[in-house]
Amino acid sequence: MFDTERFIADCCMAGASSGLCGVLEVVSRAVSNPAEILAALGEPRRAGVQVLYRSTALTVFNLIWGPQMCQLPHDHRMWAVIGIYTGREDNIFWRRPTGNPNGRIEAAGAKALSEREAVPLGPEIIHSVINPVSRLTGAIHVYGGDFFAVSHSQWDPEHLVEEPYDVNRLLALFEESNRLHAST
């Protein structure tokens, strides 16, 4: 049975001893049985970010993407592990090209994550996220530090130019998704 407190303790222990690789193992094990996570956290009902744990060493989110929701390219400036327990999450990875005077990023790859899958992201990764399915997607996100204490960047979706991360813009995106989802 998935136990949130035990999961957090396991992530903290793995993070302290093995870092990203250890946490990836813990998250992979957890999402291998989605029914247990759903029983513990509940069936996703609305898009949003639920902070399960926050310390200087680790932040753990239960993140629910709304149907067809799309998040801007952004960075974390710390390692992260993403595990999907229901739905799907498509990641587009971006890079800063060398010798690029206009500061734009360019696409560098992609990875689709489905239920029962987990992926590690290094501290330098820039990615955007899309929920391509017509239902809510549930994901566990674990970050190797205090997610809220580090300044992040996001990139304008039209011009792909770097700007300061705007958490209010992200929260508004979740609320807009909830408004759209409620009307269907």
pLDDT at 86: 98
Here the tokens at position 15 are 């993070």
**The total number of structural domains that make up the chain:** 1
pLDDT at 99: 77
**CA-to-CA dists, residue 88 to 45, 46, 92, 130, 138, angstroms:** 16, 15, 13, 9, 8
Beta strands in 96-147 (DSSP E): 106-114, 118-121, 126-130, 137-143
Domain hosting 81: range is 4-182
Q: Give tens-digit pLDDT for 133-155.
A: 999 999 999 999 999 999 999 99
| Residue among 60, 49, 44, 85 nearest 173 (CA) | 49
pLDDT at 9: 98
pLDDT at 122: 96
The continuous run of DSSP H or E covering 163 comes out as: strand 162-164
Q: What is the CATH number of the domain that holds 50?
A: 2.60.120.10
User: Do 126 and 94 form a contact (C-beta atoms < 8 A)?
Assistant: yes
Q: Going residue by residue through the chain (184 aa), what tens digit of pLDDT does each one get? A: 899 999 999 999 999 999 999 999 999 999 999 999 999 999 999 999 999 999 999 999 999 999 999 999 999 999 999 999 999 999 999 999 887 767 789 999 999 999 999 999 999 999 999 999 999 999 999 999 999 999 999 999 899 999 999 888 888 999 999 998 886 5
pTM, two decimals, is: 0.93
Dihedral sign, Cα of residue 63, residue 67, residue 71, residue 75: positive
